[in-house]
Amino acid sequence: MRPVNAVVSLALALAGCGHSAAFVAPETGSDRPFAGGSPRRLTFNLGDDRAPAWLPDGSGLLYSFQRLDRPDRDRCLGLLPPDGGRLERTLCDETPAADDSTNVLTEPAPSVDGRLAYLLVGSEPIDIAPAYTAVVLGTLDGTAGARVLRTFPYVAPDTVRHDAASQLRWLDATTIVYLAERVGYERPCQGCPIDTLRTGVDVVRLDLSGDAASLAVVPGTRFASAVAAGESADVIYYTLGGDSRVYRRVLSSGTVSVAHDFGSGIARDVRVVGSRLIAVVGGDVSFAFDSVLGYPIQRDRGGPLVLVDLASGAETVLPGNALAFRHPALAPSATRLVAEAVDDVADLWMFDLP
């Protein structure tokens, strides 16, 4: 049985870009996961597989995958069964008009009512910076056209430039929180390829209750490196660049406390479900002022995953076969997680939690 495919329609959202056909994922010959054990590799794409996100009921796993069968290297969203295996659904762009541009769908954030927020990025092959970047809202089944919630770049109310977003999370039916990023470009040496440097600068709340989405920067989150939804719509967890601590903030009161301090090592990529917290701690990461770009940058090539029991403070470093991880996603049951394993390309790995 082939995957169910959805169509992304941006003609109503972004002028000059139309989407009228969907990508059909190739048959793999199996609908079962490729391997057992923990951790176990879930994806075997030769391109990057990134930004995992569980469906709210734990029935599937969304992620962004790179298409190497196209010269423009588009990235699509795919839906896997909760144990891995064959793609059940894809959401991407395969119209002839898009053949000369690279279109990226990433940072999926599914809601409990079937809506899907994600980041859309488009560029021409010769572009250094994207031609457009936007947080958009559609549906998981692709039946609704995409609504633009926020375009980039913009200057936030705290006067910081926001070039992109990552780590989109739903707090409730009308509120999304995300990590706003600065995106810079450097050539490390003469003749070297240009590096794209992303670093978090603010946590932002996006209010969808009005006709137009409105944003507000969460105070005290300058140079944030991660954001996670908490136990209620009034609570978030976040980390700051160069910091070993995970912070908990009650949004209505502004009360901030330290949820956990790892003591050493830079903490980031935090997620919280119930009394369990997961974060990447230490590894190949640094936080320092960049004299070329003119602002601090957190350079991150991943690190070990550390699981925390918030009730006791006990830490467990997860096994990883010497891999470096980024962007873990805790299942709603808090018994499994999926994370990117960072190397020349990124693949997704599954952990069964102790």
Give which of 251, 9, 338, 340 is closest to 146, Cα–Cα.
Answer: 9
Percentage of residues of the chain with pLDDT beyond 70 = 86
pLDDT of amino acid 28: 42
pLDDT band at 96 (very low <50, low <70, confident <90, very high): low
pLDDT band at 92 (very low <50, low <70, confident <90, very high): confident
CA–CA distance, 11 with 213 (Å, rounded to integer): 19
190-197: Cβ within 8 A, 24+ apart = 194/128, 197/290, 197/293, 197/297, 197/299
DSSP collapsed to 3 states, 115-161:
EEEEEEEEECCCCCCCCEEEEEEEECCCCCCCEEEEEECEECCCCCE
- Share the mean pLDDT of the chain: 87
Question: Quick check: bond before 39 cis, omega within 30?
Answer: yes
List, for residues 213-265, the tens digit of each pLDDT value.
999 999 999 999 999 999 999 999 999 999 999 999 999 999 999 999 999 99
List, for residues 48-69, the tens digit of each pLDDT value.
999 999 999 999 999 999 988 7
- CA geometry: angle 110, 113, 117, nearest 5 deg: 30
Distance of CA 193 to the CA centre of its chain: 25
245-250 and 235-240: which strand pairing?
Answer: antiparallel
List, for residues 175-187, the tens digit of each pLDDT value.
999 999 999 998 8
pLDDT of amino acid 1: 33
pLDDT of amino acid 100: 64
pLDDT of amino acid 2: 33
Res. 22: pLDDT tops 70: no
Give which of 338, 334, 341, 351 is closest to 277, Cα–Cα.
Answer: 334
Token duo for residue 293: 């770009």
102-110 and 115-123: which strand pairing?
Answer: antiparallel
List, for residues 291-311, the tens digit of each pLDDT value.
999 999 999 999 999 999 999
pLDDT band at 129 (very low <50, low <70, confident <90, very high): confident
CA–CA distance, 144 with 140 (Å, rounded to integer): 9
> Which of 3-17, 28-42, 50-64, 114-128 tops mean pLDDT?
50-64
| Cβ 218 vs Cβ 203: under 8 Å | yes
List, for residues 4-18, the tens digit of each pLDDT value.
344 344 433 443 333
Cross-strand bridge partners of residue 272 = 277
CA–CA distance, 76 with 64 (Å, rounded to integer): 5
Res. 37: pLDDT tops 60: yes
pTM of the model: 0.89
pLDDT band at 343 (very low <50, low <70, confident <90, very high): confident
| Cβ 91 vs Cβ 8: under 8 Å | yes
pLDDT greater at residue 74 or residue 303: 303
pLDDT of amino acid 29: 41
- The SS3 call for residue 213 is coil
CA–CA distance, 54 with 50 (Å, rounded to integer): 13
pLDDT of amino acid 20: 32
pLDDT of amino acid 34: 52
